[in-house]
C-alpha cells in the first residue's frame, strides 16, 4: 500500500507538470513527449484523416484550399499535436478581433483520455488571451452530446439564449 501511495503522488506530480506517464502498481513507463506546433500545408491529409476517424461532419469548408486560407489568416490558431511519430490531434481556431472560435477539436480515438485534447485547448486559449480575446465560442453538433461534459468540466458553459443560423454562399 505504501508503494501505491508513492506512485500515486508521483503520478499526480507528473500530471501537474504536464508530463504524461503510464502508471501501474509495479512500473511507470515514460510515454512519448507531445509536441504542439502550428499546422502546415503538408499536414492536410493527416488532419483530414483524424477528422474522419473522429466522425466530424465535413464539408466544403474543409478542403485543402479552404484550410490553406485558414492557415494564412490565422497561422497561430491552427494547431496539431504530435507524439514524436505522427499527428494524433488537432484544433483549428479563428479570431474576429474580439472573440475566438474553436473549430474541429479532434484527437485520434486511441489517444483519447490522456490529456491530448486538454493540451490543445489550453494552448489555443493561451493564444487567444495574448491576442486580447474577450470570449471564446465553440459549437457542438447535437449528435455529439457526449463531448458537452468534457467542455463543462473545463469551465465552458452551454448557451441556451442563442440560436445558431448558417447560410451557404458557396455552391459545391
* pLDDT tens, residue by residue, 110-165: 998 888 999 999 999 999 999 999 999 999 888 888 888 889 988 989 999 988 88
Query: What confidence score (pLDDT) does residue 135 get?
Result: 96
Q: What is the pTM of this model?
A: 0.77
Which of 82, 62, 66 minimizes the C-alpha distance to 123? 82
Q: What is the pLDDT of residue 113?
A: 85
Domain assignments of the chain as residue spans, ordered by start: 1-31, 32-153
pLDDT of residue 6: 39
Q: Residue 116, class by beta-carbon neighbours within 10 Å (0-12 exposed, 13-18 middle, 19+ buried)?
A: buried
With bands split at pLDDT 50, 70 and 90, how would you rate the model's confidence at 172? low
- Residue pLDDT, tens place only, 36-95: 999 999 999 999 999 999 999 998 899 999 999 999 999 999 999 999 889 999 999 999
Contacts of 18 (CB under 8 A, 6+ apart): 115, 119
Q: Are 140 and 54 in contact (CB under 8 A)?
A: no
CB neighbourhood size of 11 (10 A)? 14
Rounded CA-CA distance 135/57 in Å is: 25
pLDDT in tens, 15-45: 444 444 433 333 333 455 889 999 999 999 9
Query: What was the pLDDT predicted at 19?
Result: 44
pLDDT at 31: 52
Residue 94's closest CA among 145, 55, 139? Answer: 139
Bridging pattern class, strands 35-38 and 28-30? unpaired
Residue 43 Cα distances to 72, 90, 109, 136, angstroms: 14, 10, 18, 25
> CATH number for the 32-153 domain, one of 3.40.50.1370, 2.60.120.10, 3.40.630.30, 2.30.110.20?
3.40.630.30
Amino acid at each position: 500500500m505504501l508503494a501505491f501511495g508513492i506512485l500515486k503522488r508521483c503520478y499526480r506530480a507528473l500530471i501537474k507538470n504536464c508530463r504524461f506517464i503510464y502508471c501501474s502498481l509495479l512500473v511507470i513507463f515514460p510515454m512519448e513527449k507531445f509536441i504542439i506546433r502550428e499546422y502546415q500545408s503538408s499536414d492536410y491529409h493527416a488532419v483530414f484523416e483524424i477528422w474522419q476517424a473522429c466522425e466530424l461532419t465535413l464539408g466544403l469548408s474543409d478542403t485543402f484550399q479552404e484550410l490553406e486560407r485558414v492557415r494564412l489568416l490565422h497561422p497561430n490558431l491552427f494547431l496539431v499535436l504530435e507524439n514524436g511519430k505522427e499527428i494524433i490531434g488537432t484544433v483549428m481556431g479563428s479570431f474576429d478581433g474580439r472573440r475566438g472560435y474553436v473549430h474541429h477539436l479532434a484527437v485520434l480515438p486511441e489517444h483519447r483520455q490522456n490529456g491530448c485534447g486538454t493540451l490543445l485547448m489550453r494552448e489555443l486559449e493561451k493564444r487567444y488571451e495574448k491576442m486580447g480575446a474577450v470570449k471564446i465560442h465553440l459549437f457542438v453538433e447535437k449528435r455529439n452530446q457526449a463531448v458537452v461534459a468534457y467542455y463543462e468540466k473545463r469551465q465552458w458553459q452551454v448557451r441556451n439564449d442563442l440560436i445558431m443560423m448558417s447560410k451557404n454562399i458557396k455552391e459545391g
